[in-house]
Amino acid sequence: MNERPVLDVSHLPLAGMGSASLTWWGTLAFMLIEGTGFALVIAVYLYLASLAGQWPIDAPLPDLLPGSALTALLVASLVPNLLLSHWAKQKQLARVRIGMIVMVLLGIAPLVLRAFEFPAVHVKWDTNAYGSIVWVILGLHTTHILTDLIDTLVLACLMFTRHADNPRRYGDVEDNAMYWNFVVATWVPLYLCLYWIPRLW
Q: Is 148 exposed, middle or buried (0-12, 13-18, 19+ CB in 10 A)?
A: buried
> DSSP secondary-structure letter at 147?
H
Ordered by start, the domain boundaries in the chain are 19-200
pLDDT at 111 over 70: yes
Residue 13: predicted pLDDT: 57
Peptide bond into 56 cis (omega under 30): yes
* Angle, CA 102 vertex, CA 98 and CA 106 arms, to 5°: 165
Q: Which of 15-19, 41-45, 91-95 has the lowest mean pLDDT?
A: 15-19
Please tell me the predicted confidence (pLDDT) of residue 121: 96
* Backbone φ/ψ region at 198: left (φ over 0), alpha (ψ -120 to 50), beta: alpha
Provide mean pLDDT across the span 32-57.
Answer: 95
If DSSP codes are grouped into helix, strand and coil, which group holds residue 89?
Answer: helix
* Per-position DSSP letters for 6-56, written without gaps between them: S---TTS-SS--GGGSHHHHHHHHHHHHHHHHHHHHHHHHHHHHHHSSSSS
Say yes or no to pLDDT of 85 above 90: yes
Contact indicator for 122, 62 with CB cutoff of 8 Å: yes
Fold adopted by 19-200: Four Helix Bundle (Hemerythrin (Met), subunit A) (1.20.120)
The answer to whether 198 and 133 have CB atoms below 8 angstroms apart is no
Please state, in angstroms and as integers, the Cα–Cα distance from residue 114 to each residue in 15, 103, 134, following that order: 37, 17, 13
**Rounded to whole angstroms, how far apart are CA atoms 27 and 37?**
15
Torsion of Cα atoms, 52 then 55 then 60 then 66, to 10°: 130
| Cα distance between residue 175 and residue 179, in whole Å | 6
**Distance between CA atoms of 165 and 91, rounded to whole angstroms?**
10
Secondary structure (3-state) at 180: helix
Encode pLDDT of 112-155 as tens digits: 999 999 999 999 999 999 999 999 999 999 999 999 999 999 99
